[in-house]
Structure 1
């Protein structure tokens, strides 16, 4: 992961704290400054052109002086700053004691950092049931916190109603899927530091998730927790990749995953091309050659899926009910699929539920391996491995609750066709 630096100040001077040895582009590091020390804003670069980033355009001497004075005065009120996932430098008082989380997946990341006790308000979507979201299932008391807004897909890059947010008096506001300009506006209107996080490509498993954990962990002083999660994920990734790395392409089944959520629940036509359970297990995605207009997410039509005719189909738990209902209405479609004829349709836990369930994506990755390469996973007890992953991320295993909702992980799906 790329490193994220923050600086912290005291009356005796400034000191810089970093999470890793590399030096990223951060704070007021001028284009020509290679020393690694922060530079005060400058008006023009060596070529006489207006400076970029932290450098202010020099309108006239008096106005520039006033701006610089106001800038350093505002920074003095805080004692730390961090570069968020929108590339913004956000100053804040460390450590924050009260935080709120807005937009899809933000609260999940805070739970991963074991900082849920700092949360002082939640969105309405967190109060309507936590089915399919392990972070909420593991910490049901979060639903009892004051309401700070409705949340949901409509909250993506949308200006929040600040009245309920301000009512809970947060020190920092964390948000995902918000662009730089809007984040700056919300921070200006609220007077609260706004830290933008990211899941990368929407409804996918992207490395930006781990980078967001590093940003939030820096703000909250949870750097050790971030490093634990990083090591855990990398260790699991290496173990899974190793198990199937030497399998010849000719022996790998062509697989498909349907029912993937995308701003809501969908049926078998909804799939994810950048699907970690397939990528880590070196599985050939049957729809890999199909172009998508939604990044890595893809909606197929029935004829396309019939033409692809995958050897194995996995159904995401978030769309399983819709697939079963559709199979009862249109059995003629499903019975034409090779995977149905050979009884090779299997269930997984929801990959997306208000953004990506990282821990469930990892659990699903192990499950896919046990289904496709049972001899390579002979030493793995899927239930125990799922318990380990859930506990590592959300503090306790929620496997039993997930199984009650979606059925046994990796189990066969009958579809109920008669």
Structure 2
């Protein structure tokens, strides 16, 4: 299902790209010709941009992450102020890897597209503005006020490492920023990783699989044990028996804590973004947690939050491999989760940042709340 969507997005983007020459009629020679291309962005808008983009700014959740993935940080003319901040507990690997460079760049807004400072953008004079999670009218308004082409990318609802929105956004950015080869490498990296995971678990029967639950799932902040997902992407990739899969909402959701007792999953993973809240709640209400067999049997494991200024795909992938080692130890016996995480981060953001993340959050580990 996802692969059909992927190819459709790629083909549509390729078809949408056309070349046109904008010639200054007063020019005396061909050196004064400024070429442009016309692209279709992820909102379906037709946008005319320079053929050779040299300077960009990014605004909104996840835009700078994907620009980092395709190795186009040298094109940045400015960044949001949140990228200057030394954030204790930052869950953004691209930020951890590149903060010193980001701090050398001018600020073009605070955080999110609605806080973009148009005057600051005009001062740094980018060729293109890249935004995310926005309506076409918002992009048109920014373009009108700044006189600079605006392109919208989308992440969509993260359900797969081959998600059509991820592939479409990477393909579009590769074309716009002349990083098509690198964009294709990143797409293949995620696709190959997902295939590897699926091949490892395809021979495991449902009767061999333990029931699982993800608690404390981060979504615009930290939450307690009742924050979960019926379609948690790492579980989906691993074909795990998610006890919350019967819920109708296919996204992050808050469930009644009594429902978790009813499900009584054999293994519980804790999104480390909510770890402190769950620890505090455990200390206040240990009887509730000790009703759950996963707590009494020592089957509680922490995994990294990957929802931080939208989806951190590298962290989601690293967490998937770690969860695989817990659920299917034989099939993932060759995987060292810490080393695998750094392999992923080094490819995507340029540095192995697992150690820094583990200073901010509990790492990939089995935890016992009763001994804290």
Q: Which structure 1 segments of 5+ residues have no match?
A: 13-75
Moved more, 353-362 or 248-257: 248-257
Counterpart check, 1:190 vs 2:138: no
Picking from 87, 108, 111, the partner of 1:148 is 108
Aligned pair count? 348
Counterpart check, 1:139 vs 2:98: yes
2:367 aligns to what? 413
Residue 47 of structure 2 aligns to a residue whose secondary structure is strand
Larger radius of gyration: 1
Residue 196 of structure 2 aligns to a residue whose secondary structure is helix
Counterpart check, 1:170 vs 2:126: yes
In 1, distance between residues paired with 2:63 and 2:323?
A: 27
Which structure shows the bigger proportion of residues in helix conformation?
Answer: 2
Q: TM-score, normalised by structure 2?
A: 0.88
Is contact 1:198–1:212 with CA below 8 Å preserved after alignment?
yes
In 1, distance between residues paired with 2:281 and 2:266?
A: 20
1:309-344: per-residue Cα shift (whole Å, max 9, x none)? 211111112222222222222222211111101111
Is contact 1:254–1:311 with CA below 8 Å preserved after alignment?
yes
**Higher RCO (C-alpha 8 Å, min separation 6):** 2
Residue 53 of structure 2 aligns to a residue whose secondary structure is coil
1:30-51: per-residue Cα shift (whole Å, max 9, x none)? xxxxxxxxxxxxxxxxxxxxxx
2:54 aligns to what? 97
Is contact 1:159–1:182 with CA below 8 Å preserved after alignment?
no
1:109-165: per-residue Cα shift (whole Å, max 9, x none)? 1101111121122212222235111001111121342221121xxx36x37331222
CA drift at 1:10:
4.1
In 2, distance between residues paired with 1:272 and 1:119?
A: 35
1:266-311: per-residue Cα shift (whole Å, max 9, x none)? 222212333221111110111111233xx51211121122222211
Picking from 193, 211, 230, the partner of 2:187 is 230
Is contact 2:294–2:300 with CA below 8 Å preserved after alignment?
yes
CA drift at 1:383:
2.5
Counterpart check, 1:200 vs 2:156: yes
In 2, distance between residues paired with 1:11 and 1:401?
A: 48
1:360 aligns to what? 315
1:289 aligns to what? 246
1:205-243: per-residue Cα shift (whole Å, max 9, x none)? 643112111111110010000111111111111111011
